[in-house]
Amino acid sequence: MNPHSVDSRRKASIRGRFAVPQDCGQSLIETALVLPLLLLMAFNAINFGYFFFAAINLAAAPRNAVVYSVQGFATPGQLVLPKAGPACAGGTSTDKSVSTLTYNDITGVLPTSSGAPCPNVARVQVCSESVGLTGSGSSLKTSCVQYGPGSQSWTPDSDPEAPGFVLNRVDIVYTVQPLIPASIFGLSLLPSLNFHRQVSMREMN
C-alpha cells in the first residue's frame, strides 16, 4: 500500500470534518436582507393595534360625555344640567363638568405628556344648552365652548324637531403617537395621526 495515498485520504477526511459549508455566507446575507422587512411588519402591526385601541377609547369618551350633558341632571344629587367646563387641570377637578368627564376618560387609558395640564392633552368642544342657545324656531341650536390646544370648532346641526328638541354635541381631537417611533433602525413606520370623534344626542328643550 502506498503510504502517500493513505496520508492524503487522512488529510482529506480531516479537512471534511472542519470544512465550512459554502452556503453559510449566503444565509447571513439573506437574513440581513429579510430582517428589516420582518421588523417593519412586526412594528407596524404593533402600532396599528395601538391605534385601533386608541380609536375605541376616543369613540367612548365623547359618547359618555354627551349622554352626561343630557342626562346628568336626572339624578337626585344634581337637578340642573351639568356645566360644559371648566376643563380639569392636572387631571383632577372638583367640578363635575362635561369636559372634565371627557378628559378623565381619555387620560385614564391613553398616555399623556408628563406634567402637562389636562386640557393640553386634546381638543374638546362641548355644545350644550348649559352654554346657551342660538337661533330660534326650527333653527334653534346649542352654543359651544372649546378647551385644549388648536383652533378647531364645529357647529352642531339643528334638531329635526326644533325648537321642541335641541342637539347636544361633544367633539374630541387627539393626536395618537405610535408606540414604536419611526426613527428606530431607520425604518419607515406609521406616523402620528389626528383622531376626531364627535357624538350628538337629542335633548328635550
pLDDT in tens, 158-177: 898 988 999 999 999 998 88
- pLDDT per residue as tens digits for the range 37-95: 888 888 888 888 888 888 888 889 999 999 998 888 766 666 778 888 877 654 454 56
Q: For residues 8-16, give the mean pLDDT.
A: 56
Q: Which three cell numbers stand for residue 151?
A: 383652533
User: Measured between alpha carbons, how far is 180 from 42 in angstroms, rounded to an integer?
Assistant: 10
pLDDT band for position 109 (cuts 50, 70, 90): confident
- pLDDT at residue number 103: 87
Measured CA distances, 32 to 24, 27, 46, 94, 191 (Å): 13, 9, 22, 57, 25
Total-model pTM: 0.75
165 Rama sector, left if φ>0, alpha if ψ -120 to 50, beta otherwise: beta
Cα separation values, 122 from 41, 125, 129, 141, Å: 29, 10, 23, 24
